[in-house]
A and B are shown apart, each in its own frame.
Chain A
Amino acid sequence: MRYTKKVIFIGLIKSFMFSNAVLALPFNIVPNGTLPTTVPIGGTVSATYTITNTTKLNPPYNLIKWLPLNTAVNPSITTCTPTNAFVLNHGASCTLGLTISGPINRDDPNSHQHLFVCMSDQATCAGPTPENSLNVIQGSPAFYVAAGAFGENTNQPGIARSTDGKTWTTETLSPPNFLYGSFQGVSCLNQLCVVGGLYSNFGSLNDNQPGIAVSRNAGVTWSQQAFTNLPTSPVSMDSGQLNGNDCTSQGCVLVGYFSSNTTFKNYAAIFTSTDETNWSYQALSLPVNVDDVVLNGINCDTGICVAVGNFLDHSSGIQHPGVAISPDRTNWTQIQLTLPSGYSEDASLNGVSCIQNSCVAAGNFTQDSTFNNFPGIVINTDNSQTTWAELVLSTLPEPPGITLVQGTLNGISCTTTACLAVGSYSDTFNNFYPAIAMSMDSQHIVWSQTALTELPSFSGIPMISGGFTGVTCAGTFCVAVGAYEDASFKQYLGVAYSMNNGNSWTQQVLSTAPLDNDELLGVS
């Protein structure tokens, strides 16, 4: 008989000592203090556990076999070291410190995304009880970084930074060995921020050189790098710029275009790095029947990188929307999309956001009958991002007293609950207003649009025109950036935030004196 009197006695003692059911496991894993429940986007929080060997066994060694998603061992407070072979004899305890950089679901069905401590057999393991397990949701970002160009005639690369999306500080950077510069694509991951753009000496398009700025402390300090040694394949490139940017745990990918003074054509530019110091870059050959490719935005969140932009059709001379797709960030497939019926003039895709294998791109289509631009949405309909459906938002908002006739979308940000695209509308007097387009259906077929026609003032100066260039959302909190203009055509930095998924916005104008013609072109 397996159950001896001693076993029964111990069982009875257990029952009497603890009112709740006692869980006997090889390791007792209990948190020190209260476990965190939220982690800011781009930030980290800490948790500490005490691990005790509850057995009578002295295994050769023990190991932290599995960690929850978005969790890393904090070596500075961990005494269970080395974590893949630490000694913990019977009754002994050690401390495991964890740094959490993203959401953790304690009900995640994948057991390998839970904390497990094992003996050296790797089979005798224990994890914390559910009430002692990490369950962390992602809160608002710890900071926001927007980038742009400050000063119309003396374009300088500029950064705006905020810790809450509401109050901002601005900084003008000096271009490295160039007179001018402009930043556009921004992407931040934890404390890392990468910005892409251009540097130039003469302020002309064929003088632009691609540029990247990197901050490793959440946008506080920046190092800049200009790229003057441009690709010679498929043809020798003479200039270029970077428009879109996405950093994930696999590294950063920036996209834009190179230009050749030999062929007078533009070619897709791809910059990649895993350490944000050493960059690999290439110019993609033009696809068949395409004369010109410019990439404006990119997203790699699904594992497949999807870049969007404009492809100039060789046969018609019309600019089509286009996508470039890469499963490995090295090999790219470029696809020129067709134009929707009734909108067969120039089109453009300016931004893309992907979530859960679904990508949504935003841009504009030009109506045949009026030559007016209308907001355009392009949605992938397969998991490989090779098939896309197009949607023209042809019914523009009708704010009181204003007749909007055109619209374009420049940036888009999708969360699990909504996609929010921003851009600008223009009226019959060529005044511009920030555009908001929102979709909450799972297929992103139904879109509602809003024009922000009540514009903010700056030091008593009313703004009469404005538009957004980029947007980022976390949960229901969204931040959009762009520019406003007063009656004297002076341009100001524009920022806005929404706390309700884009339904209502608080707008403000940022001063960057002494520069006076400013715009923000991207935000993360």
Chain B
Amino acid sequence: MQYKKWVLLIVSLLTASIFCHSALAMYPWHPILVMTTGAAFNNDSDSKNFPAHDNIFSFYDYKGHANHGQFIGGIFVGTEFLIQPEYLSLQTGFSYYQPTPLTLAGDVTQGVDVASENTYSYQYSIQSQQVLIESKLLYNVQRYHPYFTAAFGAAFNKSYDYKVDIDPPFTTFSNQFKNNTVTSLMYRIGLGIDIDITKQARLGLGYRYANLGKTETGTGVIDTVSTNDRLSQSRLYTNEILAQYTIIIL
């Protein structure tokens, strides 16, 4: 299934790219390079309850904390077409974004029953790498270019380095989740404004909303006992404030 999803994604990206470029070939165009940096904010929290069962007598109840901030950087390589000279431009191309690792933290309450339960803090990291086909529609008013942008592609979301703080140490065991990478379809939409600083360079500021798709840790191990438990988020969302520097190759 994973393989088929990938083939579909790549074919879609290539088809869309070729179609855009073919359709717009009649318009004046310039190659462009856009470098992006900014802050991404995540308000997601993971909650999961693994009840006790015949093989594991303890329950494990995970409650994640919300509000995380990250830096994000990216690069876009593509073409800008003047589809309505003086008014409208369209940028289309490929982009790559990588935020700094997102640290998800929370508390796990575990025990056989209320009398034996304890709460420990846990944390793990998520590293998302994003490959997208991206378009930006700009409205040109003298040196100002307000725009709307949309992108879709693939996010490689790696969950790793799970740690649980057993405090006091060595008083019990808890799930230790393995590293895992999930490949998800993702999209990013946003708006902003670019401003000419020279004929060949623009500075911009924008907002993006990104849905990075699913994240999931590997399965857990409680000391020497393997479990099928995983911490996951069906959708990882970020709100991003981005600064962009666009180079237009005339």
From 110 to 136 in chain B, residues with beta carbon under 8 angstroms from any chain A beta carbon are 111-118
B170 x A57 contact (CB < 8 A): no
A25 x B116 contact (CB < 8 A): yes
Which residue of chain B lies nearest to A4 when distances are taken between CB atoms in the complex? B114
Q: Mark A258-285, 1 if CB is under 8 A from B, else 0.
A: 0000000000000000000000000000
B172 x A25 contact (CB < 8 A): yes
Which residue of chain B lies nearest to A54 when distances are taken between CB atoms in the complex? B116
A124 x B114 contact (CB < 8 A): no
Name the residue in B55, B173, B222 with the highest tally of chain A Cβ atoms < 10 Å from its Cβ. Answer: B173
Cα A121 to Cα B171 in complex, Å, equals: 17
From 44 to 65 in chain A, residues with beta carbon under 8 angstroms from any chain B beta carbon are 54-57, 59, 65
Return chain A residues, CB-CB under 8 Å to B85.
none
Q: Mark B94-112, 1 if CB is under 8 A from A, else 0.
A: 0000000000000000011
Return chain A residues, CB-CB under 8 Å to B224.
122
Which residue of chain B lies nearest to A14 when distances are taken between CB atoms in the complex? B115
Asked if B19 CB lies within 8 Å of chain A CBs, one says no
Return chain B residues, CB-CB under 8 Å to A26.
57-58, 111-112, 116, 172
Return chain B residues, CB-CB under 8 Å to A384.
none
A124 x B56 contact (CB < 8 A): yes
Cα A126 to Cα B169 in complex, Å, equals: 11
Return chain B residues, CB-CB under 8 Å to A107.
169
Return chain B residues, CB-CB under 8 Å to A121.
55-58, 225
B114 x A130 contact (CB < 8 A): no
Which residue of chain A lies nearest to B112 when distances are taken between CB atoms in the complex? A55
Which residue of chain A lies nearest to B110 when distances are taken between CB atoms in the complex? A124
A23 x B57 contact (CB < 8 A): no
- Given A130-B169, A130-B170, A133-B170, A123 contacting B56 (CB threshold 8 A): yes
Asked if A150 CB lies within 8 Å of chain B CBs, one says no
B116 x A111 contact (CB < 8 A): no
From 143 to 172 in chain B, residues with beta carbon under 8 angstroms from any chain A beta carbon are 168-172
Asked if A487 CB lies within 8 Å of chain B CBs, one says no
Which residue of chain A lies nearest to B169 when distances are taken between CB atoms in the complex? A130
Q: Mark A110-148, 1 if CB is under 8 A from B, else 0.
A: 010010101101111111111001000000000000000
Cα A182 to Cα B57 in complex, Å, equals: 62
Asked if B61 CB lies within 8 Å of chain A CBs, one says yes
Return chain A residues, CB-CB under 8 Å to B227.
123
Cα A59 to Cα B223 in complex, Å, equals: 18
A56 x B115 contact (CB < 8 A): yes
Return chain B residues, CB-CB under 8 Å to A126.
171-172
What is the minimal beta-carbon distance from A505 to any residue of chain B, in angstroms?
42
Return chain B residues, CB-CB under 8 Å to A128.
171
Name the residue in B61, B113, B114, B117 with the highest tally of chain A Cβ atoms < 10 Å from its Cβ. Answer: B114
What is the minimal beta-carbon distance from A523 to any residue of chain B, in angstroms?
38
Asked if A2 CB lies within 8 Å of chain B CBs, one says yes
What is the minimal beta-carbon distance from A59 to any residue of chain B, in angstroms?
6
Return chain A residues, CB-CB under 8 Å to B173.
111, 116, 123, 125
Return chain B residues, CB-CB under 8 Å to A123.
56-58, 173, 222-223, 225, 227
A interface, CB within 8 angstroms of B: 2, 6-7, 10, 23-26, 54-57, 59, 65, 106-107, 111, 114, 116, 118-119, 121-130, 133
27 A-B pairs (CB sep. < 8 Å)? A2-B61, A26-B58, A54-B116, A55-B112, A55-B115, A55-B116, A56-B113, A57-B112, A59-B57, A106-B170, A107-B169, A116-B170, A116-B173, A119-B112, A121-B56, A122-B224, A123-B56, A123-B57, A123-B58, A123-B222, A123-B225, A123-B227, A124-B112, A125-B173, A126-B171, A127-B170, A130-B168
